Amino acid sequence: MTVAFVLASWRPDVPAGMERAVIAHAVGLREMSHGSLIVTADPTAPSSYRNIPVHRLRSLNVRFPCDDATLRDAIDGSAAAIGEELGRLSLLHNVYAVVYIDALWGLGRVMPTRSGVRNVLAAHVVGHDGDLRVALSHNPSAVIAPSAAVLTEAAARGYDSSTWTVVPNTLLTVPDPQTRTVREHLRTTAPARILARLGPEKGVADLLEPFAVLGRPVEIALADAPFELTDGSQGEVRRRCQALADQTPHVHLRPGLAWHEVSDWLGGASVVIVPSHAETFGLVALEAMATGTPVVAYDIGNLPHLIGDGGVIVPYSSGARGLWRAACQVLQDPVSYAATSRAAYYRSRDYWPALVANQLLKVVS
């Protein structure tokens, strides 16, 4: 029996939480001896990844990068064909549950009904009302979200999220814990690091405007995603970040990372700064914490709950200068730093794949 995950933009190494969460969930289920399948519309996706089969959905014809409006029109124009293809796929792979990863990008607005197959909507973000209301009108067997922050936002926007279930994101890579000696060496010598995709809501350009010297390099990995807010918006963010980095000493921009590189790169940082203006989960923070790297972030979304004493939470009202001050402070005190590093690692263990896979199985079975 197989659980299928549907996400139009999925392919390896996409710098986004939903894409990375999909493969981490699929791998976790496989480790629990359950079948997994990923369904994507991206023509560059391989036929398998990490021993998880990947199916190219040919009934949805879109070009990437793609914005929301373009994708919505393509889905609506091919809804019947998409439903038929998903039905054939379910029979072929003995699928007993389909998880639609988002009402729009996960094709939840289509969600065909088939006897014996549970439909699950994953609301990683609340998203556009026009998409979410359509998806909910299909009466999915369950609605899951990666954090209570999503449930709270949904309720504030008028949705009854009281029956939704929190199934958090999970780690794709579980690194070995670092020794205290290694972590202390990183505290004193390693660069501060930021990992983000080129979305304005990720706050990287806003972080660089009032740059503060930390006494060490600041390395920023920025990556393009197959989706964007509006056509060309990623290019605008890149140009702004590059211009700021060019005039700021000690700041180095680099391209995005492959998924298998993320853990080591974040684990080699003295501190990881997450300057996002909105985070419904916070996978970058979790992956940094799993290596013992303290995280500095705003008090928005799920980040305070996720990070806790594994980093420093800064009031959003303090702006980017508050993030820089917190990063300086966490690096200056070796005793506090060591305690924060340990707390980060142990908090991350709540999100190990086997634990989260069990939570997901309770919903989809």
Residues 25 and 130 in one domain: yes
**According to the model, what pLDDT value does residue 105 have?**
97
Residues 219 and 313 in one domain: yes
The residue-averaged pLDDT of 108-136 equals 96
The residue-averaged pLDDT of 47-60 equals 96
Residues 26 and 111 in one domain: yes
**According to the model, what pLDDT value does residue 95 have?**
97
At 156-175, the pLDDT tens digits run 999 999 999 999 999 998 99
Residue 230 has pLDDT above 80, yes or no: no
At 231-247, the pLDDT tens digits run 888 888 899 999 988 88
Segments forming the whole domain that contains residue 129: 2-167
At 181-222, the pLDDT tens digits run 999 999 999 999 999 999 899 999 999 988 777 888 999 999
Q: Give the whole-angstrom CA distance, residue 217 versus residue 209.
A: 16
Residues 159 and 186 in one domain: no
Are the C-beta atoms of residues 295 and 288 closer than 8 Å to each other?
A: yes
* Displacement of CA 245 from its chain's centroid (Å): 25
CATH number at residue 34: 3.40.50.2000
Number of compact structural domains in the chain:
2
Q: What's the predicted TM-score (pTM) here?
A: 0.94
**According to the model, what pLDDT value does residue 177 have?**
86
State the chain's mean pLDDT as an integer: 95
Q: Is the peptide bond before 294 cis (omega within 30 degrees of 0)?
A: no
The residue-averaged pLDDT of 120-133 equals 96
The DSSP bridge partners found for residue 255 are 222
The tokens describing 267, both together, are 């684990």
